[in-house]
Amino acid sequence: MALSFCHHFHYSSLSSSSSSSISRPPATLPSSSSSCSFSRPRISASSTSSSPLDFPYVSPPHRNLMVDLISTVETRLGSQLLPCTLPPDVQSFQNQSGNTHGCLHIRSGHKSSPIDFIFGSWLHSELPTGEALNITSLSAYLSPSTDAPNFLMEVIQSSPTLLILILDLPPRKDLVLHPEYLQTFYEDTKLDTRRQLLDKIPEVKPYYSSSLYLRSVVSPTAITVRIEADAGGPGRLEEIIKYHLDPIAKVVLGTWLDQCACVKREVGETQRAHLQNRDKLIKSKSIEIDLEPNFPRLFGRQTADRVLGSIQQVFFKMI
């Protein structure tokens, strides 16, 4: 999946339904050990990053999580990434009324790198209810030189007490036809234990996207949850982000770095051509069903055309 930057913008229907669950003390989650030949940097919000993304509209725990993840990716893969070449008016943009803002940061990989590109973004829009919708995302896509899964994380918050999390390593091969792929990337890595940990939190409920396409391209271990913290208020949601979402997201990202981005896999010419076609189709579909219908409505036609044009240049390597 290329990204679901605006898929949940239909979520003016997202409402904070009441929760009868009683909040409980958080539990920390230990990080997984690294098996990559590269040393893993210490993850800290104060880490240096070349990314201009500062996530200004979200809570401190949410902001720290996103900054840490992007800093870790850029520190770990920095030598394989080219600088961001997006024009300034694509890196940061808004609509004419000034109530909807967006920011993009995309870094493509070197030709010899297995990294296709890294895509970070945030979107902020003021809702008629007086609240705001905030979408933050980080995705990483690999080139056809490897068949390893991609990385996807998106956090959608439509109120101080309601949040949706999508966290996954979307597969790039059919798991039924290739059971060894399922074993290597999803069973041996014990990714499903992260979802199980979140399931134990009373405020966490399953989330089912209205998009059948989105539901068809995620993995069996995808974390797609809705967190409703009405009973505990905004403080409880921030607590869940800090003590539960934060460590789990970092473990999943670490798994992707160790087992996907930093491991060389042999891919034959026929398979490489198949991966290239599949990746291109998924990128095209994400633009077609997600960005093209929503960006003009959110930002106006001129801004939408400018931003989407730059995204397509990166997605499809148009020079």
Which residues are 131's β-sheet partners? none
Task: Quote the tokens at residue 143.
Answer: 């080139």
The whole-model pTM stands at 0.86
Q: Region 69-92: what's the mean pLDDT?
A: 96
Question: Is pLDDT above 70 for 318?
Answer: no
Measured between alpha carbons, how far is 164 from 157 in angstroms, rounded to an integer? 6
- Residue 22 carries which DSSP code? P
For residue 95, being part of any structural domain is answered with yes
Question: Is pLDDT above 80 for 265?
Answer: yes
Residue 317 is predicted with a pLDDT of 81
For residue 177, being part of any structural domain is answered with yes
Local structure of 257: helix, strand or coil: helix
For residue 130, being part of any structural domain is answered with yes
Reported residue count of the chain is 319
Q: What angle do CA 28, 32, 37 make, to 5 degrees?
A: 150
Q: Are 314 and 106 in contact (CB under 8 A)?
A: yes
**pLDDT interval class at 284 (50, 70, 90):** very high
**Long-range pairs for 175-181 at CB < 8 Å and ≥24 separation?**
175/219, 175/220, 181/147
Residue 48 is predicted with a pLDDT of 36
Measured between alpha carbons, how far is 238 from 234 in angstroms, rounded to an integer? 6
For residue 31, being part of any structural domain is answered with no
For residue 30, being part of any structural domain is answered with no
Q: Are 150 and 170 in contact (CB under 8 A)?
A: yes
Task: Quote the tokens at residue 64.
Answer: 């720290």
Identify which has the larger pLDDT, 5 or 38: 5
Measured between alpha carbons, how far is 161 from 300 in angstroms, rounded to an integer? 30
pLDDT in tens, 26-36: 333 333 333 33
Q: Are 224 and 207 in contact (CB under 8 A)?
A: yes
pLDDT in tens, 199-228: 999 999 999 988 888 899 999 999 999 999
Give the structural domain span for 88.
7-21+49-315
Q: What value does the mean pLDDT of the chain take?
A: 86
Residue 50 is predicted with a pLDDT of 47
Local structure of 305: helix, strand or coil: helix
**Region of 84 on the Ramachandran plot (φ > 0 left; ψ -120 to 50 alpha; else beta):** beta
Measured between alpha carbons, how far is 245 from 251 in angstroms, rounded to an integer? 10
Q: Are 32 and 255 in contact (CB under 8 A)?
A: yes
CATH of the domain at 189: 3.40.1500.20
Residue 53 is predicted with a pLDDT of 85
Query: In 3D, which of 104, 139, 117, 105 has the Cα closest to residue 253?
Result: 139
Residue 11 is predicted with a pLDDT of 43
For residue 270, being part of any structural domain is answered with yes
pLDDT in tens, 129-165: 899 999 999 999 999 999 999 999 999 999 999 999 9
- The residues, ordered by sequence, that sit 6+ positions from 174 with a Cβ below 8 Å of its Cβ are none
What are φ and ψ of residue 165, in 5° steps? -120, 130
* Percent of the chain topping pLDDT 90: 76
- The residues, ordered by sequence, that sit 6+ positions from 305 with a Cβ below 8 Å of its Cβ are none
Q: Are 53 and 86 in contact (CB under 8 A)?
A: no
Residue 3 is predicted with a pLDDT of 45
Residue 237 is predicted with a pLDDT of 97
For residue 41, being part of any structural domain is answered with no
For residue 34, being part of any structural domain is answered with no
Residue for token digits 């992007």? 70
What are φ and ψ of residue 134, in 5° steps? -125, 125
Task: Give the lowest-confidence range in 8-22, 77-91, 279-293.
Answer: 8-22
* Percent of the chain topping pLDDT 70: 83
Looking at the structure of the chain, the number of domains it has is 1
What are φ and ψ of residue 167, in 5° steps? -140, 120
Residue 289 is predicted with a pLDDT of 87
Residue 194 is predicted with a pLDDT of 96
pLDDT in tens, 302-316: 999 999 999 999 999
Q: Region 280-291: what's the mean pLDDT?
A: 90
Task: State how far Cα 244 lies from the chain centre.
Answer: 17
